[in-house]
Amino acid sequence: MLALKLALVGAVVLAASFAARRFGHGVAGVLSGMPMIAGPIMGFVLLQSSPEHARAIALATLVAYPAMVLHMLSFAHAVRRLPWWAALLLANGVFIGAGSALLWLHLPTIPACALAALSPWLALRLMPAHRRERVVLHIPPIELVLRVSAAVALAAAIVLGSVVSPAVSGLLLALPITGNVLPCFTLARHGADATIELLSGFVQGLLGFCALFVVLVVALPLLAPGWAYALAWAVVLALARGLQRWRVALVVPPAPID
């Protein structure tokens, strides 16, 4: 089961990297922000534990979700002034501090869902200005290997640490794996504008992440776990389709690099 989870993480990182190479950083960010890792992990949780325990983890993830959004926002502002490793440390410090504070507050279900739903829209308005370009990118094979290796190592630490308690599991599940790995490589190779575009797309994709966990929190007390999980993914896929149409309407055709 652990090997399957880690293989899924590697597949998502590869898919996001190929999307960046073909469609640009923004599309890669949207794909990465979707619950392509956390969603299947929640499926495993539903198979292995009671609906009440799974719902507690989903609610804890939602409570910590604004910290994930703050992680992206702080990372985006930091890349203008800091090297990748310093921006990474800053973003994760913000995530841990904000996430721990939110869990300590013990927000009720409705305020937690409302705050989670509002967070990405506010973050998109606060993103730093940047140049938006769609280009055909070149990512060397060795960089793809390093991206996948870093993501799998981080995912293994999260999965092994997620057995402590629902609150800790929720916080770790909200830790953005691809949001920690891809911006570092993007900043080092393509610069600050490309990284901010990636992170802006990531925040857009987080709308789907939020939708999945909101539906699980609301539906698990009312439906069988399988039906609640299927409904959550149906909402995510519908939202992803809407985001894709929105992005197509906003962007210009890709321009190859000379």
CA 118 vs. chain centroid, Å, equals 16
User: Is there a contact between 32 and 179 (Cβ–Cβ < 8 Å)?
Assistant: yes
Q: Is residue 209 part of a domain?
A: yes
Number of compact structural domains in the chain: 1
Q: Is residue 83 part of a domain?
A: yes
Q: Is residue 257 part of a domain?
A: no
Q: Is residue 135 part of a domain?
A: no
Predicted structure pTM score: 0.80
Report pLDDT for 161: 59
> How far is residue 35's CA from residue 211's CA, in Å, rounded to a whole number?
9
The closest of 11, 82, 27 to 198, measured between CA atoms, is 27
**Average pLDDT of the residues in 18-47:** 79
State both tokens at 158. 């999260």
- Considering the chain, what percentage of its residues have pLDDT values greater than 90? 31
State both tokens at 193. 């504008």
> How far is residue 217's CA from residue 233's CA, in Å, rounded to a whole number?
13
Q: Is residue 254 part of a domain?
A: no
Q: Is residue 100 part of a domain?
A: yes
Parent domain of 28: 2-130+141-249
Phi, psi of 243 (to 5 degrees): -65, -40
What is the per-residue pLDDT across 130-157, written as a single tens digit (0 to 9) for each?
776 655 566 667 777 777 787 777 777 7
Q: Is residue 245 part of a domain?
A: yes
> How far is residue 16's CA from residue 25's CA, in Å, rounded to a whole number?
9
What is the per-residue pLDDT across 105-136, written as a single tens digit (0 to 9) for each?
888 889 988 999 999 999 999 999 877 665 55
Residue 258's pLDDT band (cuts 50, 70, 90): very low
Q: Which three-class secondary structure state does DSSP give residue 135?
A: strand
Q: Is residue 223 part of a domain?
A: yes
